[in-house]
């Protein structure tokens, strides 16, 4: 992989374990370590409880940003709201223009986002690919 910075990926979940497991799975399957995009989990509350915390999401966005932007994927509506609040209010104003919140599915979206980011795609192309992951047919023509 190139030494060029990549678009970062943040996984926001109500569960710290789910966010961390998603990041671990994506790292393993997409083989993106060593020069790939920064993948950061932001799950649960600071005290370990289930829930979402916009401040944790904002910290994850800052950690994932290598200068080319960040794409955030979230599990459920509250996580989406926390991600949107973090992106619009809680991060450095200069960074806001390069943060995108994807509506794609958490696992498939994070995987595709990481692959696209590793390939060098720009911050607007990565969430588009992640969003399209929602329409992938897992069973092919079988139903």
Nearest to 125 by CA among 86, 71, 62, 83: 71
CB 131 within 8 A of CB 103: yes
Quote the CA–CA distance of 123 and 121 in Å, as a whole number: 7
Quote the CA–CA distance of 9 and 90 in Å, as a whole number: 17
Nearest to 79 by CA among 20, 13, 10: 13
CB 117 within 8 A of CB 6: yes
CATH of domain 8-131: 3.40.50.510
pLDDT tens, per residue, the chain with 143 residues: 457 899 999 999 999 999 999 999 999 998 887 778 999 999 999 999 999 999 999 999 999 999 999 999 999 999 999 999 999 999 999 999 999 999 999 999 999 999 999 999 999 999 999 999 989 888 877 65
CB 125 within 8 A of CB 116: yes
């Amino acid at each position: 992989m190139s030494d060029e910075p990549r678009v970062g990926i943040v996984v926001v979940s109500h569960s710290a374990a789910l966010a961390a497991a998603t990041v671990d799975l994506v790292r393993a399957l997409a083989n993106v370590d060593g020069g790939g995009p920064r993948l950061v989990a932001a799950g649960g509350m600071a005290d370990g409880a289930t829930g979402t915390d916009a401040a944790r999401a904002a910290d994850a966005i800052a950690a994932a940003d290598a200068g080319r932007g960040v794409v955030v994927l979230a599990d459920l509506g509250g996580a989406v709201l926390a991600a949107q609040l973090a992106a619009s209010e809680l991060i450095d104003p200069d960074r806001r223009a390069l943060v995108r919140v994807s509506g794609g599915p958490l696992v498939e979206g994070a995987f595709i986002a990481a692959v696209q980011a590793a390939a060098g795609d720009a911050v607007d192309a990565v969430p588009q690919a992640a969003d399209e992951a929602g329409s992938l047919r897992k069973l092919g023509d079988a139903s």
